[in-house]
A and B are shown apart, each in its own frame.
Chain A
Amino acid sequence: MDIYLPIANLSVNALVIIGLGGLVGLLSGMFGVGGGFLTTPLLIFYGIPPTVAAASSATQVMGASVSSVVGHVGRKTIDFQMGGVMVVGGVIGAGIGAVIFRVLERIGQIDTVIGILYVVMLGSIGMLMARESIHALIMARRGERLEARKRRHHPLVSALPLRWRFYASGLYISPFAPLLLGIFSGIITMLMGIGGGFVLVPAMIYILGMSTQLVIGTSLFQILFVTMVTTMVHATTTHAVDLVLAFLLLIGSVIGAQIGGRISMKARPEYLRVALAFIVLIVAIRMALGLGWRPDEIYTVTLQ
């Protein structure tokens, strides 16, 4: 079933896009990540221009995370104060990201930078996750209980000026720490079309020292707003949000997310995390090879 994408200006197989959205939704439902880190590269492999892929993928991540956020609100597992600071940072970051995007696009290096960012970010996070989750798995096999990590924020965080009390998280830290984290996630959301959940979650645990109960809900809350802002920024600056593409991706991902959610309730979390770590690593390796391999097309054309 072929369908014409009015902004990407090409015709795609609607079922492939819905399937792709479904796969990403399945993963996001299973692991609680936005799944944007898979959507953007897969869309680019399929032949969608990178800018349109990143912009429309941000729109999809927003739709995929909204119902989880509602669930977390109900369960009171969001630190709104912390999330609010991070959203402010995310909005600033999206603005900075838009400027970087435009500059890189003008000098023709946006594709390479997106590629390198993917390799570095996914590679390092994937390794971290793999190491940690395999360790946890071995411990579980031996029947030992993992020692609860002492909750402590990173020493660097203490060096920042000003301190706020974050009551829900039980933290007394500088608001600049979550603000900077938010700015960083805003920039990568704008550039890579990812929600940034897989960066935010470990950063909030290891750098801010938040408890795991609040981390998922708070990061989803931040992702929801940042992807919303990113969609608006893309719509008004790069004009690259393809509504038809986003709609097709959303159909797949909202269905996939529900199925994924059911699976995650039955599967054991240690195994899920090992699986996620390997998926992230595979995408990183594929992107790395893509940078080194001779591309299919040496030439690219942009309108002036």
Chain B
Amino acid sequence: MRRLAALLCALVLLVTGQAALAQKEAPQLVPDVSQRTVEIKFSFTGAELLLFGAILYPGGRVPEKPADIIVVLKGPSQAIKMREKQKVAGIWVNADSIDFRSAPSFYAVGSSRPIDKLVDERTAAIYELGLAKLQLSPSSLNDTTEIDRFSDGLKELQARKGLYLEEPGSVEITDGVLYRARLPLSARVVTGTYTAETFLVQNGRVLAAATREIEVRKTGFERLIGLFAREHDLVYGLAAVALALGMGLLAGVIAGRVGSAFG
């Protein structure tokens, strides 16, 4: 009983002490994003998102060793099948494959300094900081060397498409308190809810984290087309037929007139 009381006492002291410490010394994060919605229009060739905000240090004093910022922009997760081509009988055909249950459709990470200089392996893995730490949930049918090979392949493939990117040093911190990071959004992005996470890191520890959501959606004509192609496929098909026939006939008539006028 006495031992329990002592333990409780110690616990209370510890908790209140930490809370006090946190209130006194832990800086806070006030993040924002330049736009809450990204609209895909007919002229969409990609976008650039600005993630910015302020670091509030207790007492307003910037410490001698200021904190660092890591930003992560993640697209909706997708269940994908990935196939690997191998040379069979002189031609390249899809041979091996793997299923990933949740691969982000988009992943961009920016930081004020290289991530491996900011946090250790374990912390990076917990918060999925960096491409190497991305969780893809591979199916258990493949062995580990295969999983690694496919994971690396996926990351390289998506990087070439501009869908996975890592930009160390892309976060600028002004006077130790204002930060901003620009992350490019490729034209190949899928629609859905994206999350922009900001992490405040000091001495290898994540002190604060904040998340903002960004909606990427098709608007106007592009939305209509996508909607019709999926929901009213018969009408969509008829529209395609009518468009093709109409344009073909119109061109014939115009050419006939022009031809007879000149000929």
Contact = CB atoms under 8 A, between A and B. Distances in A.
Interface of A: 2-4, 6-7, 9-11, 59-60, 62-68, 70-71, 108-109, 111-112, 115-116, 228, 231-232, 234-236, 239, 241, 243-244, 246-247, 250-251, 254-255, 257-258, 261, 291-295, 297-304
Given A7-B225, A65-B248, A300 B83 contact: yes
A63 B229 contact: no
Nearest to A304: B79
Of B188, B240, B241, which is in contact with the most chain A CB atoms at under 10 Å from its CB?
Answer: B240
B207 to A, nearest CB: 36
Interface in B222-255: 222, 225-226, 229-230, 233-234, 236-241, 243-245, 247-253, 255
Contacts of B83: 108, 299-302
B248 A64 contact: yes
Of B226, B239, B244, which is in contact with the most chain A CB atoms at under 10 Å from its CB?
Answer: B244
A239 B230 CA distance: 7
Contact of B154 (A254, A301, A303): A301
Interface string B109-145: 0000000000000000000000000000000000000
Nearest to A302: B81
B254 to A, nearest CB: 8
Please provide the 10 A-B residue pairs with the shortest distance between their CB atoms, ordered closest to farther: A67-B252, A235-B237, A254-B251, A63-B244, A66-B248, A63-B248, A11-B187, A258-B255, A6-B225, A291-B91
A243 B239 contact: yes
Contacts of A251: 247
A69 to B, nearest CB: 9
Contact of B233 (A239, A295, A299): A239
Contact of A63 (B42, B150, B247): B247
Given A244-B42, A302-B80, A297 B237 contact: no
B154 A299 contact: yes
Interface stretch (B22-30, B43-51, B67-75): B43-51
A51 to B, nearest CB: 13
B229 A239 contact: yes
8 contacts: A9-B188, A59-B244, A63-B245, A67-B255, A109-B93, A112-B92, A254-B252, A293-B92
Given A4-B42, A255-B251, A299-B154, A62 B244 contact: yes
Contact of B82 (A60, A64, A68, A300): A300
A63 B248 CA distance: 5
Interface of B: 40-46, 78-85, 87, 90-94, 97, 99, 150, 153-154, 157-158, 160, 187-188, 190, 218, 221-222, 225-226, 229-230, 233-234, 236-241, 243-245, 247-253, 255
A160 B251 CA distance: 42
B248 A62 contact: yes
Contacts of A244: 42, 225
A7 B92 contact: no
A250 B243 CA distance: 9
Contact of A303 (B45, B78, B240, B248): B78
A71 B222 CA distance: 36
Nearest to B80: A301
A43 to B, nearest CB: 16
Given A10-B187, A235-B240, A303-B80, A108 B248 contact: no
A258 B251 contact: yes
A248 to B, nearest CB: 11
Of B46, B79, B251, which is in contact with the most chain A CB atoms at under 10 Å from its CB?
Answer: B251
A292 B188 CA distance: 28
Contacts of A243: 225, 229, 236, 239-240, 243
Nearest to B254: A258
Given A67-B255, A250-B243, 19 more contacts: A4-B41, A4-B43, A6-B218, A6-B221, A60-B244, A63-B244, A109-B94, A112-B93, A231-B237, A235-B234, A241-B236, A258-B255, A295-B85, A299-B82, A299-B85, A299-B157, A300-B85, A302-B82, A302-B83
A4 B80 contact: no
Given A232-B241, A243-B239, A300-B82, A250 B248 contact: yes
A232 B94 contact: no
B84 to A, nearest CB: 6
Contacts of B250: 254
B171 to A, nearest CB: 28
A7 B237 CA distance: 13
A11 B186 CA distance: 10
A251 B22 CA distance: 65
B82 A301 contact: yes
A218 B66 CA distance: 79
B232 to A, nearest CB: 10
Contact of A294 (B45, B92, B237): B92
A59 B240 CA distance: 7
Contact of A4 (B45, B78, B79, B243): B45
A236 B226 contact: no
Nearest to A9: B188
Contacts of A298: 84-85, 153
A111 B85 CA distance: 11
Contact of A301 (B81, B90, B240, B255): B81
